[in-house]
Structure 1
Amino acid sequence: MNKLILISLLIVVQACAQRTYLGELEDLGKFPSKLKEVSGLQVTEDGKIWVIEDSGNKDQIYRVNNDGKILESLKVDHAKNKDWEDLTMDDDGNLYIGDFGNNGNGREDLVIYKVSNDEMDKKKPNADKIEFNYPQQKDFPPQKDSLYFDTEGFFHLNDHLYIFTKNRTRPYSGNTLIYRVPDKEGEYEAEFLGSLFLCADQDHCSVTSADISPNGNTIALLSYGFVFLLTDFSVPDLTKASIKIIDLKTDTQVESICFANNNTLLIADEENRFGGRKLYELKLD
């Protein structure tokens, strides 16, 4: 057994092909039982924390405090939670909900809901639809070696929403596909920007959330147990970015990430047999 463990570790190290740093998660608090499946979170400019849950849960956004306690909930009008997977916000305070979860790669109704800043004070804020498709996907679902079109991470930058797909290929390729769509209501064919190799470990290298720092210098991609920090990139081509890997030292199902400021990340996990349902802070060097 020890020999098998050693071989597995060597495979992971070789697949990542670069140094992995250890991160120290600080436990901020635990979400209430009604928030068992937090799939996205976002911090506003004035420090408010908003979270969502994924498929099978309500069409609501929740404002929580630093301890994970619910302060308010808003029912999003003209929006349906088919599989909400991430949150992001633009500089004007407009909130975007990524309803693009697609485990089986069979969906043809991918949408991002835009809740304008003016609506955020209402109990039932109205949402506009940004509908889109991936031009590379021809079959629903595609063959196992082409299962690239599940999505759980995106962020806003310069009037566009940058989307990172979650790799479910068999055999596993380690790539995330990068797309972008305009941040305005409408129907779009997503613009393909290229693919990014993260690492070849299926259990740790599929993107579950994404965000960009307020100064625009760092992109954080979350996976199960790892954070990939992208720097030295140019827009819109992100494929030549430098990548730093941080091992979070956790076996919980980490699903959400956002920047609280340029040097601090907030991370949330869903509840599984290892624990979770918590809000964490990760300080960056």
Structure 2
Amino acid sequence: MLCFSLFIRSLLGATLLTSACSPADGDKASTDQPQATAQAPGGKKGKKGGHKKGKSTDLPAGLRKVGRLTDGILESSGLCAAPEAGTYFTFGDDGQQPIVYQVDATGQQVGQFTLGAPNHDWESLSRDNRGNYFMGDCGNNNSDRRNLAILRFRPEQPTKVSKINFSYPDQTEFPPNKSERNFDCEASLWHDGQVYLFTKDRAQSSTCKVYTVPETPGTYKAKLVTKLAIPGQVTDATLAPSGRRLVLLARQELFILDGNSWDAILKATPRHISLKGAGQTEGAAFKNENTLLLTTEQGAVYELDVQ
């Protein structure tokens, strides 16, 4: 009887111990499940629009999340330093209002203005060294647009917009065959009196074509400067303060081209950096020589250390 009683007590103790551990195991399992997708007003669930949360993922070394864009700033499509130190301009792409938002380095809105031109498909923003800004209204998903333009303006006079209209010298069909659709430009930047255009290769031939148009308003045939071997679809471009490093952002990755001159940069072999887990990365701007600020269409704001 004593042995049987001891056996029963041992069996009951083991059962109670197992019961006490199971909630912790259940909690651990639940953290591995995808979180619900949030949908902001006017956004599209599971697609573009709205700030969404996804499954938690370890980020690559050097990449850290530092904030989120203020609610209402939807589908951030580009990023550029604003005149006030420590602030940046961002905006939505096609379908969004022609509003340029000013945010701090964590994504919190500190101002906004309405640009005096419609948003056909805004995709990038850059500035020169005299306070002029250049908005790339040249998103061209199907390579069928005939109204491509760079909008030149000054933030203190946003209703006064002049246009740099352009077309591609090597495009003859609208749209061309799918294998030739490399006329979508989501990345541009000003450099030395020219606006450089970097195409997003939708033909998947890993070729980013680089064109230029003058900074002066008018109507032009863009000049094809070079072709870069970029195995990704380019979504933004930014130049380091030193002028010796070009970053071409793509979706969840970026490419760095270093050189002692602009010509050397365009001939450099691109270095690849993974941004896996960051989301649909669309905006990039240098905070300083070795730190990038990145935004996504889902509203996240990241910093990335680059060497």
- Normalising by structure 2, we get a TM-score of 0.77
Deviation at 1:39, TM superposition (A): 0.2
Gap regions ≥5 residues in structure 1: 1-21, 200-204, 272-276
Instruction: Find the counterpart in structure 1 of residue 125 from structure 2.
Output: 87
**C-alpha deviation, 1:236, in angstroms:** 4.8
Question: Match of 2:173, SS?
Answer: coil
Larger radius of gyration: 2
* Bigger RCO of structures 1 and 2 (CA < 8 A, at least 6 apart): 1
**Could you say which residue in structure 1 is the equivalent of 2:51?**
none
Deviations along 1:5-57, whole A, 9 cap, x unmatched? xxxxxxxxxxxxxxxxx543221211123112000111136332111110000
**Deviations 1:174-213 (CA, angstroms, capped at 9, x unpaired):** 00100011111111111101211112xxxxx010110111
1:222-274: per-residue Cα shift (whole Å, max 9, x none)?
A: 01111100012754575421311111122511111111221111110012xxx
Select the residue among 167, 172, 183 that pairs with 1:133.
167
2:280 aligned with 1:253: yes
2:192 maps to 1:158: yes
Q: Please say which of residues 63-72 and 132-141 is displaced more in the overlay.
A: 63-72
**Where does residue 4 of structure 1 map in the other structure?**
none
Kindly indicate whether the alpha-carbon contact (under 8 Å) linking 2:245 and 2:265 is maintained by their aligned counterparts in 1: no
How many angstroms apart in 2 are the aligned matches of 1:23 and 1:108? 42
2:300 paired residue among 255, 275, 278: 278
Residue 72 (structure 1) aligned with residue 99 (structure 2): no
Does residue 214 of structure 2 align to residue 182 of structure 1? yes
**For the structure 1 residues 260 and 141, does the alpha-carbon distance in structure 2 shift closer, same or farther, using more than 3 Å as the test?**
same
Structure 2 matches for 1:50-129, cutoff 5 A? 50-77=89-116, 79-116=117-154, 120-122=155-157, 124-129=158-163
Residue type at the aligned position of 1:182: P
The answer for the alignment partner of 1:211 in structure 2 is: 238
Which stretch has the larger CA shift, 41-50 or 224-233? 41-50
The count of corresponding residues between Structure 1 and Structure 2 is: 247
Q: Quick one: which of 187, 193, 201 aligns to 2:225?
A: 193
| TM-score relative to the length of structure 1 | 0.83
More helix by share: 2
**Offset at residue 112 of structure 1 (A):** 0.6
**Which of 180, 185, 194 is the matching residue for 1:146?**
180
Unaligned runs of 5+ in 2: 1-59
